[in-house]
């Protein structure tokens, strides 16, 4: 028991020493608190969730069937991503402007569009840029895809608008058809077969015109309706009305039947014509943009909170900062003892490796915990980062991050020969954390074998756990937390064995 208490006293020597040494560097402490807070604060007010605006020059073809205005309009409908910098017919001059940096993007309209389409091929808009950043290249590629879609929609809108204009002529034919139906009905009722036959021929002509003219326009609407099949939409309505109309008109001429039958058929034809008029009126009343793009999407989250970008990154920043703080402090701790020469003193003294490590673990855990507490309070109450979960769980995860990170630091410290070596190793851990912990890139974007590195880093666990607690308000994922602590325990065991060898071994 006496030895146990002496061991505690020996360990406590490091606790006091480390804390005093850190507190003797107030600038360091202030930097550790103010630095991350300011970074998040400035990031929060400075981040704009908008793509980069590209100054865009159009190269239009002289024989283009698409109006340059339509192309420009397509670009403008895409929002702030593209700013129209003008149009030119000279591609070489446009590319020269791109090289000089006067514009960011050159969109070249495809040549010989008609013949290309006739050859059953798509005409291609080519987008020239001078980006080398793969992310920005992907952005421009995506922008090109959106742009082509917009142009296609613009073409379709023009086509639909033209169809709506043409529908006015179809209305005239429908009215003529109605008049011929009435005339045939009167002729049949009066027994004037010659007049009836004459008017039937006129009706047949009207139906042919309507079938041809209405078909293209109304079938477009019909296609839209077909997409609603699952919701009980009226499918094939226009198609069947037109078919009925042609069939009844044909039978009226080919096999007239009795007067009653003919009158009944005329009533059916009249009804179909009225239906078509209704359909046509509906078609004319719909905005061409709606017909071309009948659907759009909306996203709604069932999460408890909709965090801003800075809110979302806050737990990751906290986890990364605490990991880096713990790794760096621990990494410098033992290598500095060795360089100063105190290790020689320790070898002669009754100090054991476990006591030295225990003292250092406790001191850095408490110091890191204090920094984490101040930062967490600042994040939640000054930056208004949501904290939906349990503070106790939050503190538990912080302790686990610090514990495991200290293990990494102590292993680094014991295997390093110099301060600069320890700092270099710590920076490598930081760099690995930035790339592999999901801090910037989602873990899903990494090749699975590479994710092994991710799952060795405390930041990976910390980011996921802290986000779950703070932003989702859920309990920690116990498997993740267990994994983090297990890694910490393994690292503690390794550092203890290495430290024991370091203190005990003679040269």
Residues that bind other proteins (CB under 8 A): 3, 5-7, 9-10, 12-13, 16-17, 20-21, 24-25, 340-342, 344-352, 506-507
**Starting from the edge strand earliest in sequence, which strands make up the sheet with 105-108, in order?**
82-88, 54-59, 105-108, 126-128
* CB 129, CB 105: distance < 8 Å: yes
Q: What is the 3-state secondary structure (H, E, C) of 21-75?
A: HHHCCHHHHHHHHHHHHHHHHHHHHHCCCCCCCEEEEEECCCCCCCCHHHHHHHH
Question: Within 13 A of 481's CA, how many CA atoms are on the CB side?
Answer: 17
Provide the sign of the torsion angle of the four alpha carbons 271, 275, 281, 285, taken in this order.
positive
Q: Which of 105, 150, 151 is nearest to 129 (CA)?
A: 105
Pull the structure tokens for residue 199: 């008017």
Pull the structure tokens for residue 289: 């943009």
Q: Tell me the closest approach of the beta carbon of residue 339 to other proteins, in angstroms.
A: 10
Q: Tell me the closest approach of the beta carbon of residue 430 to other proteins, in angstroms.
A: 25
Which residue, 343 or 378, is less far from other proteins as judged by CB? 343
Which residue, 188 or 357, is less far from other proteins as judged by CB? 357
Q: Tell me the closest approach of the beta carbon of residue 372 to other proteins, in angstroms.
A: 24
Which residue, 244 or 419, is less far from other proteins as judged by CB? 419
Q: Tell me the closest approach of the beta carbon of residue 33 to other proteins, in angstroms.
A: 20
Q: Tell me the closest approach of the beta carbon of residue 133 to other proteins, in angstroms.
A: 45
Helix, strand, or coil here: 100? coil
Distance CA 327, CA 425 (A): 9
Q: Tell me the closest approach of the beta carbon of residue 506 to other proteins, in angstroms.
A: 4
Q: Tell me the closest approach of the beta carbon of residue 11 to other proteins, in angstroms.
A: 9
Distance CA 70, CA 76 (A): 10
Q: Which of 131, 157, 138, 136 is nearest to 77 (CA)?
A: 157
Q: Tell me the closest approach of the beta carbon of residue 15 to other proteins, in angstroms.
A: 9
Which residue, 238 or 351, is less far from other proteins as judged by CB? 351
Which residue, 28 or 490, is less far from other proteins as judged by CB? 28
Calculated CA dihedral for residues 208, 214, 218, 222, nearest 10 degrees? 10
Which residue, 6 or 130, is less far from other proteins as judged by CB? 6
Distance CA 226, CA 216 (A): 15
Q: Tell me the closest approach of the beta carbon of residue 317 to other proteins, in angstroms.
A: 29
Location of structure tokens 């309990």: 475
Which residue, 217 or 352, is less far from other proteins as judged by CB? 352
Distance CA 60, CA 68 (A): 7
Q: How far is CA 122 from CA 115, 117, 249, in A?
A: 10, 6, 41
Q: Which residues, 6+ apart, have CB-to-CB distance to 267 below 8 Å?
A: none
Which residue, 128 or 346, is less far from other proteins as judged by CB? 346
Which residue, 209 or 343, is less far from other proteins as judged by CB? 343
């Amino acid at each position: 028991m006496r030895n146990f208490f002496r061991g505690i006293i020996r360990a406590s020597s490091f606790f006091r020493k480390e804390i005093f040494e850190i507190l003797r560097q107030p600038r360091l402490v202030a930097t550790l608190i103010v630095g991350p807070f300011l970074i998040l604060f400035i990031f929060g007010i400075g981040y704009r969730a908008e793509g980069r605006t590209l100054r865009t020059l159009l190269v239009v073809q002289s024989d283009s069937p698409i109006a340059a205005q339509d192309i420009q309009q397509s670009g403008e409908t895409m929002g702030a991503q593209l700013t129209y910098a003008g149009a030119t017919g000279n591609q070489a001059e446009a590319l020269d402007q791109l090289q000089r940096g006067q514009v960011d993007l050159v969109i070249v309209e495809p040549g010989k569009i008609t013949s290309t389409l006739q050859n059953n091929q798509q005409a291609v808009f080519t987008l020239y840029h001078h980006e080398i950043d793969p992310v920005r290249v992907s952005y421009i590629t995506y922008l090109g895809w959106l742009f082509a879609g917009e142009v296609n929609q613009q073409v379709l809108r023009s086509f639909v608008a033209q169809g709506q204009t043409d529908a006015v002529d179809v209305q005239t034919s429908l009215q003529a058809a109605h008049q011929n139906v009435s005339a045939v009905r009167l002729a049949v009722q009066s027994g004037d077969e010659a007049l009836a036959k004459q008017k039937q021929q006129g009706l047949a002509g009207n139906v042919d015109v309507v079938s041809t003219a209405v078909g293209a326009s109304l079938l477009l609407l019909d296609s839209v309706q077909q997409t609603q099949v699952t919701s009980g939409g009226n499918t094939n309505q226009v198609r069947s009305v037109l078919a009925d109309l042609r069939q009844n008109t044909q039978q009226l001429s080919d096999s007239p039947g009795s007067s009653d039958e003919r009158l009944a058929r005329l009533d059916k034809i009249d009804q179909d014509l009225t239906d078509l008029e209704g359909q046509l009126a509906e078609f004319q009343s719909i905005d061409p943009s709606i017909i071309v793009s009948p659907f759009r999407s909306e996203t709604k989250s069932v999460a408890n909170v909709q965090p801003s970008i800075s809110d979302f990154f806050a737990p990751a920043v906290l986890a990364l900062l605490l990991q880096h703080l713990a790794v760096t402090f621990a990494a410098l701790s033992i290598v500095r003892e060795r360089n100063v020469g105190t290790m020689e003193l320790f070898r002669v003294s009754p100090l054991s490796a476990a006591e030295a490590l225990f003292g250092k673990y406790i001191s850095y855990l408490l110091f890191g915990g204090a920094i984490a507490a101040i930062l967490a309070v600042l994040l939640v109450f000054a930056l208004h980062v949501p904290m939906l979960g349990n503070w106790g769980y939050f503190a538990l995860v912080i302790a686990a991050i610090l514990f495991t990170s200290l293990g990494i630091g102590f292993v680094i410290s014991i295997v390093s020969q110099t301060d600069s070596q320890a700092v270099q190793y710590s920076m490598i851990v930081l760099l690995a954390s930035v790339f592999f912990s999901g801090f910037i890139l989602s873990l899903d974007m990494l090749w699975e074998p590479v994710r092994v590195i991710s799952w060795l880093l405390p930041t990976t666990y910390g980011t996921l756990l802290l986000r779950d607690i703070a932003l989702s308000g859920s309990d920690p994922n116990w498997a993740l937390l267990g994994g983090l602590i297990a890694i910490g325990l393994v690292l503690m065991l390794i550092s203890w064995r290495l430290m024991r060898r370091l203190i005990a071994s003679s040269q």
